[in-house]
Amino acid sequence: MRTFRISIIGFGAVGQGVARSILSKKEYLNKQGIDLQVMGISDSKGCEINENGIDIEAALLRKKQKGSVAFGDAKIDIIRDVEHDIVVEVTPTNINNGEPGLGNMRAALGSGKHVVTSNKGPLALYFSELKELAEDNGLFFRYEATVGGAVPIFNLVHEALAGNTVLGIEGILNGTCNYILTRMSDERMPYDLVLKEAQELGFAETDPTYDVEGIDSAIKLVIIANSVFSQAATYKDVDVTGINKITPEALELANKNDYVVKLVCEARDGKLKVAPRLVPKRHPLAVGGTLNVASILTDLAGRITISGKGAGSIETASSILSDILYIVRNSKS
């Protein structure tokens, strides 16, 4: 049995999803000779540390009952001072300066720990720095969960499609926008009303700007550009148009002519663009509801399209667990 020690930094929906997945997959992992021990968990209010491995069930329960995972008043720097192998960095995305995620990732890579993350901010701002820091220290830096939730875009491109040159990528990478456009089109409802409905269902934030103006999509496209095309792009390089001006009449006109309107992210010929686009109804990109989709055009394999759930606690944890296992299988220790 190989034991890998991890920490979970950030214990919101994704962090708890990761903890739940590790718990529910214990037997599955043991059969493969892998034992994942959670040494430390932290949230904004405090942390729990246990050098023998945390009782995940108890930690989840405490979070539910008390609103925090904090146990006692331990004020220890988990990343630097607790001995472990992998830091799962799942604090909230901050697109202005990347913090606290950026500092956490630098600390982890600087103190010999691999990083697995779902946090888009630091990657959109400092992708190359973090990637180099990991390489220089012989560590893994994995970020499948940052784009497309459960949809394994980076694994597909870097592993399964290794040897191919990627010519372009198109995708729908924001479930909120996809939900709004699908509902507007299906029910012929105006934008404001559907947005309100989405907010009540929890598919959209109280402040929807980040989603509906295309910012979230653009950030994900930047990460794709950096990871797949080694482009050293930032948010400023993306030509962004949101969905807030779209009318039900426009969607109906599209529908009559066998099109749907989708907020499409596109990386091609070195250009990055997020905009509402006409997608033929039978095209693989024409997925509805909150689904995400990515269509990758390569020289050898042609077009490969994958779609799936772009958000959700357990779905995102699926990508994180997959990254953890990648490290477990590929690291020498």
Partner 1 sequence: MIVSMTLELKDIPGQLVLALSPISEFHGNIMSVIHQHDEKTPRGTIPVQIRFEIEPRILNGLIEQLEKSGVKVARVGEERLRSTVSVILIGHIVHSDMGDTIDKIDSTGFAEVVDMSLSMPAIDKTSSAYLVINAVGEKELGMALDIMRDVANKKDILMIEPIHMNSVGA
List active site positions.
220
Contact pick of 170, 211, 315, 323 for partner 1 (by CB under 8 A) = 170
Contacts with partner 1, 252-281, as mask; x by CB under 8 A = xxx-xx-x-x--x-x-x------xxxxxx-
Please state the separation of Cα 164 from the chain's center in Å: 24
User: Binding of partner 1 at residue 306 (CB under 8 A)?
Assistant: no
Rounded Cα distance, 143 and 320, in Å: 8
Of 7-15, 51-59, 163-171, 216-224, the window that binds partner 1 (rule: CB under 8 A) is 163-171
Does position 288 bind partner 1 by CB under 8 A? no
Shorter beta-carbon distance to partner 1: residue 14 or 195 = 195
Q: Tell me the angle at which helices 191-201 and 175-187 cross, rounded to the nearest 10 degrees.
A: 130
CA pseudo-torsion sign 255, 259, 260, 261: negative
The minimum distance between CB 248 and partner 1, in angstroms, equals: 8
Rg (Cα) of the chain, in Å, rounded?
20
Q: Which listed residue (95, 156, 250, 311) binds partner 1 by CB under 8 A?
A: 250
* Minimum distance from residue 236 beta carbon to partner 1 (Å): 19
Instruction: Give me 266's structure tokens.
Output: 């596109």
DSSP calls for 139-180: --EE-GGGSSTT--HHHIIIIITTTPPEEEEEEE--HHHHHH
- Under the binding rule (CB under 8 A), the answer on residue 225 touching partner 1 is no
**Nearest distance, CB of residue 232 and partner 1, angstroms:** 23
C-alpha 87/C-alpha 110 separation (Å) is: 12
Note the helical H segments in 202-275.
209-212, 215-229, 248-256
- In angstroms, the Cα distances linking 113 to 6, 76, 116, 142 are 9, 17, 10, 12
Question: Considering beta carbons, is residue 117 or 182 the nearer one to partner 1?
Answer: 182
- The answer to whether 289 and 178 have CB atoms below 8 angstroms apart is yes
Identify which range of 74-82, 223-231, 249-257, 322-330 contacts partner 1 by CB under 8 A.
249-257
Find tokens 């992992």 and name the residue: 29
Output the DSSP codes for 114-143.
EEEE--HHHHHHHHHHHHHHHHHTT--EE-
Q: Which is nearer to partner 1, 97 or 247 (CB)?
A: 247
Under the binding rule (CB under 8 A), the answer on residue 285 touching partner 1 is yes
- Comparison of 195 and 285: residue with beta carbon closer to partner 1: 285
Q: Which of 50, 241, 313, 322 binds partner 1 (CB under 8 A)?
A: 241
- What span, in angstroms and rounded, lies between the C-alpha atoms of 289 and 176? 9
Closest CA to 211 of 147, 153, 219, 150: 219
Q: Rounded to the nearest whole angstrom, what is the least distance from the CB of residue 304 to partner 1 in the complex?
A: 9
Q: Does 189 bind partner 1 (CB under 8 A)?
A: no
20 is a site residue for partner 1 (CB under 8 A): no
| Interface positions with partner 1 (CB under 8 A) | 167-168, 170, 241, 245-247, 249-250, 252-254, 256-257, 259, 261, 264, 266, 268, 275-280, 283-285, 295, 297-298, 302-303
